[in-house]
Structure 1
Amino acid sequence: MPFSLRGGVSTAHSIDGMVLLDERAGRYWQLNATATLVLRALLCGASPGEVAKRLTGNHPELSVEQADRDVAELLAALRRAELVMP
């Protein structure tokens, strides 16, 4: 399922990741480099499972199960903040 940023959410690159601005609520969200990689992949159409597999390729010490949980937690947080939509 592809995801997109909700209207009124803008992005800016930072030294160590990305900043999301929810213009409607006036809130900023700082994403680290890994969260930025996850969000970009999801926005490009990758599934959460595919993103988790990519993470384990970049971080061999990370289990697929943990990567799945991490991606799901980030996606849930972005949804709760109403920053992304399917």
Structure 2
Amino acid sequence: MNITLADHVSVVPGEDGSSVVLDQRNGRYWQLNATGAMILRLLLRERNTRDTVRALVERHPTAAERIPGDVETLLATLRERGLVTV
């Protein structure tokens, strides 16, 4: 799996760790909180969910049970909206 931003998408980081994801085709945007922004950054860096989950669990071991579902949910939403390609 090779996760990348779609060509028509840009991400602008916020000062508080959040990010804004902009679909340049239609001007729609989505605000990601700091956790969502971190997941997106890791998905784009690691290029797959397995390594993204592993990196997040290393940083937040107390949330290990919840992390895989959170990663999959965000990735599914980004895919549905055409913001990332897999």
Secondary structure of the equivalent of 2:32?
Answer: strand
Q: Can you list the C-alpha shifts for 1:18-41, whole angstroms capped at 9, x where unaligned? A: 111101121111112221121112
Query: Is there any run of 5+ residues in structure 2 with no aligned partner, and where?
Result: none
Maintained 8 Å contact 2:46/2:52: no
After TM superposition, the runs of 4+ consecutive aligned structure 1 residues lying more than 2 A away are none
Question: 1:48 Cα deviation (Å)?
Answer: 0.7
CA–CA separation in structure 2 for the residues paired with 1:60 and 1:10 = 30
TM-score of the aligned structures, taking structure 2 as reference length: 0.86
Q: Aligned residues, how many?
A: 85
Secondary structure of the equivalent of 2:66?
Answer: helix
RMSD value, Cα: 1.4
TM-score of the aligned structures, taking structure 1 as reference length: 0.86
Secondary structure of the equivalent of 2:61?
Answer: coil
2:71 corresponds to: 71
Query: Is there any run of 5+ residues in structure 1 with no aligned partner, and where?
Result: none
CA–CA separation in structure 2 for the residues paired with 1:42 and 1:55 = 10
Q: Give the AA of the match of 2:74.
A: L
More off after superposition, 75-84 vs 37-46: 37-46
Identity of aligned residues (%): 41
Q: Give the AA of the match of 1:61.
A: T
Maintained 8 Å contact 2:3/2:48: no
